[in-house]
């Protein structure tokens, strides 16, 4: 069975020895603090480290048990049921679910190869501006696309003009295998953007250590929400992550990850070019995914059972769209957990059951 469903790091990349060292050092030196109740916003040394890394004040950072949880808290503190929220279409299925669950009227803005379609966005803004716009600007999940600098600037300008909050979710930003980084949306409108990230993709998802940075009043509201909900997020892993960063393990590990994932991405793109030349897909420069729109004549209804018979587990592309039918020919292909050889074989075999 070839699993092309989950966008998770392969288990062999977890730096277990370094994490043991980091945890031991932190527990020995600061165990009394990390094992006691610690009120939100989280473990102060990690907050200070992240504030410095991202060029913000420590009052502008809050930690949480994963970035998904922080996304939920943003929807709970910054929106009311019945408010409007925008999301790229397609987008991360769990973000779609969280926005809908918050009671928002969720509007999908079609995603192009370099970010959302600005003409459609402008039309929607004129009809009903949102309270919140959730965007994954770098190596988007599920598409793999990156929002270009011009679109980031324009979205930031509109956020100021129409007074909405952009939630910029950037867990893949540092996993860049080609090209150069683009300034964050937040850099163009710091008062109207909060940035979410976590150590799930760059270190290990089981740590469930996420963070948000942005305007102090928003950070304060999320902090108060955390205190009321569970006092504070889980601290021993925050201490472990802090020591891991502080001891200089992060950068070399990130380079190792990029070196491992780069040929996997390149092989996937080459295999798609070769075996599925009529499919439409972006050429991501990083991240975990390539989003593929299959030629006409394909449908999830037919493809999923055929793929299962051929030994593949695929994600139903309809789950990434607010209107599921829009994803009827959409396939998200995660490439990080498979070797180049496995990727090439997988696409070659998959092409045999795809109409092209
Ligand atoms: C865009 C995006 N945001 C958030 C997450 C989840 O991250 P975390 O483990 O920090 O909740 C994922 C994981 O797939 C993701 O793709």
Radius of gyration of the chain (CA): 21
Instruction: Give pLDDT tens digits for 206-239.
Output: 999 999 999 999 999 999 999 999 999 999 999 9
- The pLDDT of residue 315: 95
Cα 28 to averaged position of ligand 1 atoms, centre (Å)? 31
- Band of residue 6 on the pLDDT scale cut at 50, 70, 90: confident
- Band of residue 79 on the pLDDT scale cut at 50, 70, 90: very high
Q: Which residues line ligand 1 (CB under 6 A)?
A: 7, 66-68, 92, 136, 141, 169, 171, 198, 200, 205, 210
Nearest to 201 by CA among 285, 147, 141, 145: 141
Q: Give yes or no for residue 39 having a pLDDT over 90.
A: yes
Judge contact between 13 and 257, C-beta under 8 A: yes
Cα 195 to averaged position of ligand 1 atoms, centre (Å)? 13
- The pLDDT of residue 305: 95
* Neighbouring-strand partners of residue 88: 109
Where is pLDDT greater, at 134 or 356? 134
Percent pLDDT > 90 in the chain is 98
| Ligand 1 atom index nearest CA of 67 | 10
- The pLDDT of residue 124: 98
Instruction: Give pLDDT tens digits for 297-343.
Output: 999 999 999 999 999 999 999 999 999 999 999 999 999 999 999 99
Residue having the nearest C-alpha atom to atom 13 of ligand 1: 7
H-type alpha helices, 90-130: 93-101, 118-127
Residue having the nearest C-alpha atom to atom 1 of ligand 1: 141
- The rounded mean pLDDT for the chain is 97
| Ligand 1 atom index nearest CA of 197 | 10
Cα 350 to averaged position of ligand 1 atoms, centre (Å)? 27
Instruction: Give pLDDT tens digits for 159-211.
Output: 999 999 999 999 999 999 999 999 999 999 999 999 999 999 999 999 999 99
- The pLDDT of residue 1: 85
Both tokens of 231, joined, read 């006092």
Residue having the nearest C-alpha atom to atom 7 of ligand 1: 67
Cα 68 to averaged position of ligand 1 atoms, centre (Å)? 6
Mean pLDDT of 51-59: 98
Instruction: Give pLDDT tens digits for 137-148.
Output: 999 999 999 999
Please, what are the domains in the chain? 15-246 (3.40.640.10), 251-351 (3.90.1150.10)
């Amino acid at each position: 069975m070839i699993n092309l469903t989950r966008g998770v790091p392969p288990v062999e990349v977890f730096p277990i020895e370094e994490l043991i060292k980091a945890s031991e050092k932190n527990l020995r030196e600061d165990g009394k603090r990390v094992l006691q109740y610690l009120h939100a916003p989280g473990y102060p040394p990690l907050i200070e480290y992240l504030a410095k890394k991202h060029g913000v004040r420590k009052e502008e950072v809050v930690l949480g048990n994963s970035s998904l949880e922080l996304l939920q808290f943003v929807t709970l503190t910054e929106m009311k049921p019945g408010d409007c929220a925008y999301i790229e279409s397609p987008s991360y299925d769990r973000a779609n679910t969280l926005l809908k669950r918050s009671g928002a009227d969720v509007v999908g803005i079609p995603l192009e190869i370099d970010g959302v379609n600005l003409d459609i966005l402008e039309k929607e803004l004129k009809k009903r501006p949102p309270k919140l716009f959730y965007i994954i600007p770098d190596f988007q999940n599920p598409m793999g696309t990156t929002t270009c600098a011009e679109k980031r600037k324009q979205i930031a300008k509109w956020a100021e003009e129409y007074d909405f909050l952009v939630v910029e979710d950037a867990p893949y930003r540092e996993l860049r295998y080609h090209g150069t980084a683009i300034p964050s949306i937040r850099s163009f409108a710091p008062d109207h953007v909060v940035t979410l990230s976590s150590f799930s993709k760059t270190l290990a998802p089981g740590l469930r250590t996420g963070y948000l940075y942005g305007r102090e009043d928003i950070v304060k509201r999320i902090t108060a929400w955390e205190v009321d909900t569970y006092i504070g997020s889980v601290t021993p892993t925050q201490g472990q992550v802090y020591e891991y960063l502080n001891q200089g393990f992060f950068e070399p590990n990130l380079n190792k990850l990029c070196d491992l994932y780069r040929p996997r991405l390149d092989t996937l793109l080459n295999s798609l070019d070769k075996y599925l030349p009529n499919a439409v897909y972006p050429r991501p420069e990083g991240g975990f995914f390539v989003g593929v729109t299959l030629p006409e004549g394909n449908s999830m209804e037919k493809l999923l059972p055929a793929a299962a018979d051929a030994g593949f587990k695929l994600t139903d592309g309809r789950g990434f769209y607010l209107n599921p039918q829009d994803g009827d020919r959409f396939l998200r292909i995660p490439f990080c957990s498979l070797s180049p050889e496995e990727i090439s074989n997988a696409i070659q075999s998959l092409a045999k059951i795809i109409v092209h």
